[in-house]
Amino acid sequence: MKNIIGVFLLLILTGCVNNMNPTDFKDQKPRLIIEEYLSGKVEAWGVLQNRSGKVTRQFKADLEGKWDGKTLILDEVFDWNDGERQTRQWKINKIDDHNYEGTASDVVGIAKGYSYGPAFKFEYVLLVPVKGKNIKITFDDWIFKQDESVAINRATMTKFGFKVAELTVMFFKK
């Protein structure tokens, strides 16, 4: 009986796993071509929530991208509501119509990107400073284009497979 309950609980828990796939959006519009949307100036506003859903920080960000036909260089400046300023420069290479690879100084290894329809999924491990140490946090990052100007980003942040935070961002292309 104990084994049956355990199997039942495992089935319930695995049913709660997010099985969203970028190809689920392949026939939807508007198409998000990340190197086009992020070229030029883009403003963003976001909230960071802990695993319980409590908003712990907010930010405004200015992004500026340059596309050379193969690589998007994206400069980001984040101004957090607690006074911290963060900067990051992404180098995102387009592999083909649907696949991308990216690097940044605080990204461990290579970020993998997937683009279908209005969705762009970016998977990477980021070194996040916490109490004077850098902690590796895995990001499952989704951007959804709403129209020519607006995109919405939802990122789930995990450590050892457990959700530690979520990030919600609204982008506005000037």
pLDDT in tens, 80-123: 999 999 999 999 999 999 999 999 999 999 999 999 999 999 99
Give domain status of residue 5, yes or no: no
| Per-residue pLDDT, 11 | 39
Give domain status of residue 109, yes or no: yes
Give domain status of residue 9, yes or no: no
Cα separation, 108 vs 130, whole angstroms: 16
Give domain status of residue 31, yes or no: no
Give domain status of residue 18, yes or no: no
| Per-residue pLDDT, 127 | 95
| Per-residue pLDDT, 131 | 87
Q: What is the pLDDT of residues 150-165, one digit of tens each?
A: 999 999 999 999 999 9
Prediction pTM value: 0.86
| Per-residue pLDDT, 79 | 98
Cα separation, 125 vs 155, whole angstroms: 12
Q: What is the pLDDT of residues 21-49, one digit of tens each?
A: 888 889 889 999 999 999 999 999 999 99
| Per-residue pLDDT, 7 | 41
CA nearest neighbour of 57 among 86, 30, 32, 35: 86
**6 vs 122, higher pLDDT:** 122
Going from the C-alpha of 106 to that of each of 22, 27, 56, 127, 137, the distances in angstroms are 25, 34, 22, 5, 11
Q: How many independent structural domains does the chain possess?
A: 1
Cα separation, 144 vs 167, whole angstroms: 14
Here the CATH number for the domain that contains residue 99 is 2.40.128.20
Structural domain of residue 140, as residue ranges? Answer: 37-173
Give domain status of residue 153, yes or no: yes
Phi, psi of 115, rounded to the nearest 5 degrees: -125, 120
Residue 2 pLDDT greater than 60, yes or no? no
